[in-house]
Structure 1
Amino acid sequence: MPTVRFVDARFAALDANGDGVLSRAELRRALESFRLLDGAGFGSAEPAPLPAEVSALYDTVFEQFDADHSGAVDRAEFRAEMRRIMLAVADGLGSQPLQVAVDDEGGSFLLEAAEHEAAAIAAKIEAQRAVEAAAAAK
C-alpha cells in the first residue's frame, strides 16, 4: 500500500539515530520544526506559550503516539496514530481537501501525501491506457 510506505519513510526520516523507534526527543524535534507554537500567528497580539505549556503539550502528543506507554514510539504505533490524524484532517477538510494541500507552501506532510497519491493514480491511468493501446493494436 503506497500510503504505508510513505508513512514508513516519514518514520525513518524522524528516527535520527536509526534504532527503529522514536524517542521523546526525536518526536519533539519533528513537532518543533512545524513551528506551531510560536505565538498565535502573524499580526496576533497573543504571546507565545510559556515553555512549561509547550513541554506539557509535547508530552501529551508523545503520549498519544506511545500507545503502549513503553517510552518510545515504534513503527506500528506511528502508523496507527498517523492514520488517525490523517483521517481526522480529511474529515475536517470537508469538500476542499485539494485546496488545502495546494495552498500549503511545501514541506507539508499533507501536501507530500497528496502528491504521492496523485502520482500513484497517474501511474495507474497510464498503465491502463497502455493496456488498452496494446489491445487495440492487435
Structure 2
Amino acid sequence: MKREELVDAMFREVDTNGDGVLSRGEFVELVRCLTGEHGVGVSSKIFDEFDADHDGAISRDEALEMIIQYAL
C-alpha cells in the first residue's frame, strides 16, 4: 500500500462524521492510533502544530504531513 493510500485509509477511519476534516476529538483518536498516547494535552499540542491554516480542523493534507513526520 502506498503512503498516500495508507494516510487516506487512516483519515477516513477517524473522520467519523465524514466531513473531510478532523475535529479535535477525531484528531485525538488519530494520535492514539499513531502513538499510543492517551493524553489530550499531547494531542492538542500536535493538533495546533499541524493545523497550518489555523481553522480548527486538520485537513487531509495537514494529516498527511503529520503522519509522515510521526509515523512513517
TM-score (norm: length of structure 2): 0.78
Name the structure, 1 or 2, with higher relative contact order (CA <8 Å, separation 6+). Answer: 2
Q: Residue 63 of structure 1: CA displacement?
A: 1.0
Amino acid at match of 1:71: G
SS in 1 for 2:71: helix
For 1:3 and 1:18, locate their aligned partners in 2 and report how far apart those are by CA, in whole Å.
Answer: 21
Match of 1:74 in 2: 59
Figure out how many residues of one structure are paired with residues of the other and give that number: 71
For 1:30 and 1:83, locate their aligned partners in 2 and report how far apart those are by CA, in whole Å.
Answer: 13
For 1:73 and 1:55, locate their aligned partners in 2 and report how far apart those are by CA, in whole Å.
Answer: 16
For 2:62 and 2:31, locate their aligned partners in 1 and report how far apart those are by CA, in whole Å.
Answer: 17
Q: Answer yes or no: is 1:15 the counterpart of 2:15.
A: yes
What RMSD over aligned residues (CA atoms) do the two structures have, in Å? 2.2
Match of 2:37 in 1: 36
Amino acid at match of 2:11: F
Unaligned runs of 5+ in 1: 38-53, 88-138
For 1:36 and 1:23, locate their aligned partners in 2 and report how far apart those are by CA, in whole Å.
Answer: 17
* Cα separation, partners in 2 of 1:35 and 1:4, compared to 1, 3 Å: closer
Larger radius of gyration: 1
* Cα separation, partners in 2 of 1:86 and 1:22, compared to 1, 3 Å: same
What CA deviation, in whole Å up to 9, does each residue of 1:73-110 have, x standing for no partner? 000111111112235xxxxxxxxxxxxxxxxxxxxxxx
Q: Contact (CA 8 Å) 2:28, 2:40: kept in 1 or not?
A: no
Identity of aligned residues (%): 37
TM-score (norm: length of structure 1): 0.44
